[in-house]
Homo-oligomer: A and B are copies of this chain.
């Protein structure tokens, strides 16, 4: 009895109304309702190709999301599943957007690589689904480039472009002014002809808070509990919260359409958990009626926006750099993993050339092909790949894939019967010769210096006619030999038997898309031995200087401290004071505000100049082809500076590493080039290796910048180069890979070359960016990076020519192949020289062949680029023409179709259906020049400045 009384006292709980539970059919057929706030619910998952896990680990680990690794999944499906998916695509329930192989990075990627990976994806989608994606969807990359907007956006035929990450100050202002959605005109040269509707999300790419549902159940978003039999029935509360969130977003958005990105990383693993909640929201919110909720896609949203006839603010330039909060500039990843960045860039150039060779040889479907390399490089453009922001083992996986692709692509090479042989091991003393076949992937005749490592200095070089040509032998930097030996031990398990001691340099001349052959033979004498001068800097008087350079360019060094002092070019009459030094930023350890420097974020603490630890000699080697200056800056930085007889720029080769961290401080190594130019805060950096954008220190064009990181907040990504100028001169640097750089002081340019950090920066990768190389599991040292940058000073207005033309040479260097010739006469049994184009023909200097690729069906993908911006050079910023008949001199063109940039639709059709967006307050648009249609009989392609034109060409067989 007592117990019974207690029950009632303790548990007199209101009796719930217990209805029957029933199967409820949710009404989710809603479409747009005019006059209401329309909440476009866009279910999406963002599946990084490789980040914390490798691409294969991600793929097979979950294996269930068609949004992820779609192509890989697709290949394994039954016809029944494929048919279902095709139906979903054709009905619009599943929309294929963006459509590259990956969501590429926008800072550390070169535009040619971006085009290649997008083309690969778009052509796959076209072939399998007959679909051309309409929407750009770069929701995660850490800042957004002009090239992405106009070239990989408008030029591939996208009608809109959405993204998640812009500077937090910029975002706040845009929310306030309803300018998150804009018309973005990314190219000065192409102007309104390449603009796109572009929307930044109000927050990243998650749903509004409290509307997140995933199978793992870790979310604390309340589910819509509509079973009155269960506790916590909450339909009215949840509908109220939905309406409130919709109104809140509508208040910062133009028009009555708002998009909710219903997903985030690696979602919809069990799609039902999401869709069940979305079904309920749509059902109950529309029953409520205050706002209209609908299943939507980015296309539906875009069309709805367009249909409103609203005018949008104009956006130019780009969205770099990106900070997600104070002191958190994502400018470290511009340089993170410089070795991987260098590898991606070099193999990207190789891939361009390999496809040309594959075309000339004729593609062999049974293999080997360049396809694996294409795929590996495409994946490597991902925004956690070349960006350097994946975990170490994932970065290794990316590199491994490229290596495999490279190894296969090498076998495609039509320079037949040639097997690779490390030239240093060729024993030339016993009458053997080393045959070097030099391929030129450019459309221009080209003369450049070839350098190969050799073991013995007593050699002679002859051309294919047997004429001896000038050559020069230069001792290797000892640090280079040590680095090579160490890595050979790491990766091959043993130290090399023979080590090269010298570089052999000679000048090769190769026709456009052709090759030439050179023979290196043993000789009694070292024909081109360099003259060696060792300058003990401490021993010299203060005023002594050392001049370096066999040609018109001379670098002048101080005898007092061995530093570069002056740049003199007698040909262009430039004489400029110039300095070069190394320094480092100590990476913040996060002890102040939990924001350390890391893989993503550059958070410098203090700046330190790097001085020589002791007085070391400045060693100069001089010769007929080039002079080299060898400098040991300290125990872990070496530099070789080269001045070529025939080149008007200086080449700096740095060897940096292992960066010491014994002091518990991460370090970010920079080089500074200083001059007396009065640059007035202005400098210029390229957008993905293409357009140059004006940067102004401590300033943003779109909002009043609150400066809290005077260094990190002024860093920009560099893929081609950086320059600054004053009223008299231009000071330009070109780079061999993606790096970060800036001009922190007037007249000075700096590049960040290497980073080694010991804290994670809290953006998810959960690893410090501390790259090491290990001989055994326990014996590791920090990664050493070898790279180059190039310096030139020009009179004002004359720098573009070098930056553009030499920049293209950097992307597409000579491709070399070797054979050891044993007594026979190579020349008599092989074709010693080859012309890809008509022998008398070369492309105009301002045009590059970006793509020459045989497609699966025998057709050819041909892509030409004008290398100059409008007004950049008085001679070369003009419309140019390419005569296709002379390019394809050995074939007869049967048909030609101009396509979108990604070659998945006809250009004319794309232009016809392109949405036209109104720009706020715009009066007359400047006239844009573009090349005209290609006459099918004349077959001449015109290209206006910055224009890239893509064709599918068929030939008579």
Contact = CB atoms under 8 A, between A and B. Distances in A.
A10 B270 contact: no
A491 B11 contact: yes
Interface stretch (A69-77, A106-114, A618-626, A926-934): A69-77
Residue with the highest number of chain B CB atoms closer than 10 Å, among A2, A223, A400, A488? A2
Nearest to A11: B403
Contact of A491 (B9, B453, B492, B816): B9
A484 B813 contact: no
A814 interface: yes
B9 A487 contact: yes
A441 to B, nearest CB: 13
Interface in A1-43: 1-13, 15-16, 18, 20-25
A76 B230 contact: no
Contacts of A4: 346, 350, 816
Contact of A12 (B407, B484, B813): B407
Interface string A404-430: 101110000000000010100000000
Contacts of A492: 9, 12
Interface stretch (A54-62, A96-104, A516-524, A885-893): A54-62
Contact of A11 (B72, B215, B406): B406
A24 B76 contact: yes
A232 interface: yes
Contacts of A231: 54, 56, 397, 400
A406 B8 CA distance: 9
Given A230-B59, A232-B56, A269-B270, A1 B491 contact: no
B403 A76 contact: no
Contacts of A290: none
Nearest to A813: B1
Given A60-B225, A78-B23, A227-B76, A491 B7 contact: no
Contacts of A404: 13, 15-16
Nearest to A62: B217
B230 A60 contact: yes
A73 to B, nearest CB: 10
Contacts of A342: 3
A453 B813 CA distance: 100
Residue of A59, A397, A403 ringed by the most chain B CB atoms within 10 A: A403
A104 to B, nearest CB: 22
Contacts of A75: 20-22, 229
Interface string A76-91: 1111010000000000
Nearest to A266: B217
B61 A5 contact: no
Nearest to A8: B420
Nearest to A276: B63
A343 interface: yes
Contacts of A54: 231
A273 interface: yes
Given A56-B232, A451-B2, A270 B215 contact: yes
B232 A400 contact: no
Interface string A910-922: 0000000000000
A5 B215 contact: no
Nearest to A405: B15
B23 A60 contact: no
A650 interface: no
Among A20, A63, A408: residue with most chain B CB under 10 A: A63
A472 to B, nearest CB: 15
Nearest to A368: B15
A227 B56 CA distance: 10
A15 B408 contact: yes
B217 A7 contact: no
Contacts of A450: 1
Nearest to A230: B56
A5 B422 contact: yes
A452 interface: yes
A540 interface: no
A622 B816 CA distance: 114
A63 B491 contact: no
Interface in A345-395: 346-347, 350, 367, 372
A460 B230 CA distance: 47
Nearest to A3: B346
A487 B10 CA distance: 7
A893 B156 CA distance: 84
A64 interface: yes
Contact of A452 (B1, B7, B347, B491): B1
A6 B408 CA distance: 16
A198 interface: no
A406 B452 contact: no
A76 B5 CA distance: 37
- Most central of A25, A75, A217, A350 by chain B CB within 10 Å: A217
B23 A77 contact: yes
A850 to B, nearest CB: 21
Contacts of A1: 450-452, 813-814, 816
A5 B56 contact: no
A216 interface: yes
A272 interface: yes
A452 B422 CA distance: 103
13 contacts: A1-B452, A7-B347, A11-B406, A13-B407, A18-B367, A20-B75, A56-B225, A56-B231, A60-B230, A62-B273, A64-B270, A64-B272, A231-B397
Interface of A: 1-13, 15-16, 18, 20-25, 54, 56, 59-64, 72, 75-79, 81, 215-217, 223, 225, 227, 229-232, 269-270, 272-273, 276, 342-343, 346-347, 350, 367, 372, 397, 399-400, 402-404, 406-408, 420, 422, 450-453, 484, 487-488, 491-492, 786, 813-814, 816
Given A10-B487, A12-B407, A12-B492, 15 more contacts: A9-B422, A9-B492, A10-B491, A11-B406, A13-B400, A21-B72, A23-B78, A23-B79, A54-B231, A60-B225, A63-B223, A63-B272, A63-B276, A64-B270, A231-B400
Nearest first, the 3 closest Cβ-Cβ pairs linking A and B are A11-B403, A270-B270, A21-B75
